[in-house]
Amino acid sequence: MPTGRQDGNRSSAADVAPNTPKPGANVTDLIALFARFNLTAKDLAVLSGAHTIGKAHCSAFSPRLYNFTTTNSNASDPTLDANYTGTLRGQCRAGDLATLVDLDPGSGTTFDLGYYRDVAASRGLLSTDAALLLDGDTRAYVMRQANATAPDEFFADFAASFVNMSKIGVLTHHKGEVRRQCSAVNPPSASSLAPVTMSAHAVLLASCFVSI
């Protein structure tokens, strides 16, 4: 990972939503969002693989389980595996927005290819996971990793895409600051000798791939 970057000297929650993928975004919107940060469709497919670890709140995917159509309150997303839908409904009752569910059931604490196998089997938890099957480039990557016998290619690709992401909004020299605490700007007296961290935009974008 290249070093020498600095963080922005302002921090606002209002900056998050316009610069991170929304739970219901379609693949065209996702690719367009990534393109704004000079990231490709492949970067989207690769970085989405971070969903092999972490959890999501029921609120992030409950629209796929209930009220999927305006005429049937019990309707679920037909692109979601029916058995998986039943499992998720058992974990997230209607109206439950707070329960946490593994993004990659079965290996949610292991960085592996389980996420891609889930997505290929119509068991991607988020609509943005399922959306990867609706673009030729992202679908091809998902299917290749789902059928891979070893994670070597994914691991190498993830490292490369993470470096690409770390280049978003890079600040150097006196254009920013090196934060002592990643989530907050330094107080006026903070030293500039703290350990170097990623740019603020990169942190924002990275955060959406781990816990939702």
Please report, rounded to a whole number, the percentage of residues in the chain having pLDDT higher than 70: 89
* Predicted local confidence at residue 183, as pLDDT: 78
Q: Has 112 been labeled as part of a binding site?
A: yes
* Predicted local confidence at residue 211, as pLDDT: 47
Q: Has 21 been labeled as part of a binding site?
A: yes
* Predicted local confidence at residue 212, as pLDDT: 59
Is residue 26 packed enough to be buried (19+ CB in 10 Å), middle (13-18) or exposed (0-12)? middle
| Confidence category of residue 16, pLDDT binned at 50, 70, 90 | confident
Q: What is the pLDDT of residues 36-88, one digit of tens each?
A: 999 999 999 999 999 999 999 999 999 999 989 877 778 999 999 999 999 99
pTM beyond 0.85: the answer is no
Report, as an integer, the average pLDDT of 176-202.
66
Q: Has 52 been labeled as part of a binding site?
A: yes
Residues in the chain: 212
| pLDDT at position 194 over 70 | no
Residues facing residue 100 across a β-bridge: 57
How many of the other CB atoms lie within 10 Å of CB of 149? Answer: 6
* Predicted local confidence at residue 7, as pLDDT: 81
| pLDDT at position 201 over 80 | no
Nearest residue to 123 (alpha-carbon basis) of 63, 83, 76: 83
Q: Has 104 been labeled as part of a binding site?
A: yes
Q: What is the pLDDT of residues 138-168, one digit of tens each?
A: 999 999 999 999 999 999 999 999 999 988 8
Q: Which residue has the higher pLDDT, 180 or 47?
A: 47
Cα–Cα distance for residue pair 33/162, rounded to 1 Å: 16
Set out the domains of the chain in order of their start, with CATH numbers: 21-166 (1.10.420.10)
Report, as an integer, the average pLDDT of 87-103.
96
- Computed over every residue of the chain, the mean pLDDT equals 87
